């Protein structure tokens, strides 16, 4: 089983709203990732969690706040977003980081529209 | 920064034709993944290649990793409309878990 699940599938929010994106995997993976993807572009890395600790923040604005409550769950809290933040948000997981051959498995994504 | 150049950017072919997508870098990658993505969905892993010179086959798809582990290709034989999608190559990851993505190749196969 190589399934990563994400909820919700679609989200529309105003610039003053607070919402959260959720990601879950039950593959025993200890590394989890958030990516942002614009149409017809490759995914851009936002955050990396390794063993439930934040290991990479790719200079993401503070209106995006990640959280890893346990080894299976990853959240992305959203607050005061801008219309340009509208994108497909992807979660991925891998067994660990630090090993060169660790394949990342992606979830189906959350399509976010900020009005 | 290791850069991956993917070509072509766009490919439109008729059903039954063959196609090849290329992924090239001046840097050595420890491994390389190929993903296919459909609109509004997440990338789906097709293959991971690790060994220089490696060739992997997945039904009508053939993946090759260059001897020097700097380049890779994806060849599709007798393409079908279901092969339509955005094909992404991704090198690495590095020790921090970062993948280097190519820009993607949009493939359209018409009946």
pLDDT at A111 over 90: yes
- B1 confidence band (pLDDT: 50, 70, 90): low
Question: Does residue B93 have a cis bond before it (omega within 30 degrees)?
Answer: yes
Residue A84 in 3-state DSSP? helix
In this prediction, residue B3 carries a pLDDT of 83
CA distance B5 to chain A (A): 12
Cβ atoms of B18 and B77 within 8 Å: the answer is yes
- Range name among A15-24, A97-106, B8-17, B38-47 with the lowest pLDDT average: A97-106
Q: What is the pLDDT of residues A28-87, one digit of tens each?
A: 999 999 999 999 899 999 999 999 999 988 889 999 999 999 999 999 999 999 999 999
B residues 24-83 lying closer than 8 A (beta carbon) to A: 30-31, 33, 35, 40-45, 48, 50
Over residues B14-31, the mean pLDDT reads 94
**Which of A104, A105, A108 should be substituted to probe chain B, the one whose Cβ sees the most B Cβ atoms within 10 Å?**
A104
A51 chain-B contacts, CB cut-off 8 A: none
Residue B5 makes CB contacts below 8 A (sequence gap 6+) with B23, B24, B25, B102, B103
Cβ atoms of A34 and B97 within 8 Å: the answer is no
Q: How far is CA A112 from CA A37, A44, A115, in A?
A: 10, 15, 10
Cβ atoms of A46 and A60 within 8 Å: the answer is yes
């Amino acid at each position: 089983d190589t399934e990563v699940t994400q909820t919700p599938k679609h989200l529309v929010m105003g610039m003053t709203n607070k919402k959260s994106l959720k990601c879950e995997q039950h593959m025993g993976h200890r590394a989890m990732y958030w990516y942002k993807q614009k149409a017809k572009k490759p995914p851009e890395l936002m955050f990396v969690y390794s063993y439930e600790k934040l290991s990479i923040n790719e200079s993401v604005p503070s209106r995006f706040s990640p959280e890893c409550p346990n080894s299976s769950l990853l959240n992305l809290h959203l607050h005061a977003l801008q219309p340009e933040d509208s994108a497909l948000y992807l979660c991925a997981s891998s067994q660990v980081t630090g090993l060169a051959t660790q394949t990342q498995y992606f979830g189906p994504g959350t399509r976010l529209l900020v009005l | 920064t290791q850069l991956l150049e993917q070509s072509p950017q766009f490919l439109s072919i008729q059903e039954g034709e063959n196609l090849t997508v290329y992924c090239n870098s001046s840097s050595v990658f420890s491994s390389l993944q190929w993903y296919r993505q459909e609109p509004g969905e997440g990338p789906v892993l097709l293959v991971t290649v690790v060994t220089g010179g490696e060739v992997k086959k997945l039904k009508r798809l053939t993946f090759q990793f260059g001897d020097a582990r700097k380049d890779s290709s994806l060849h599709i034989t007798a393409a079908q409309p279901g092969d339509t999608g955005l094909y992404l190559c991704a090198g690495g990851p590095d020790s921090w878990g970062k993948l280097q993505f190519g820009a993607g190749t949009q493939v359209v196969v018409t009946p």
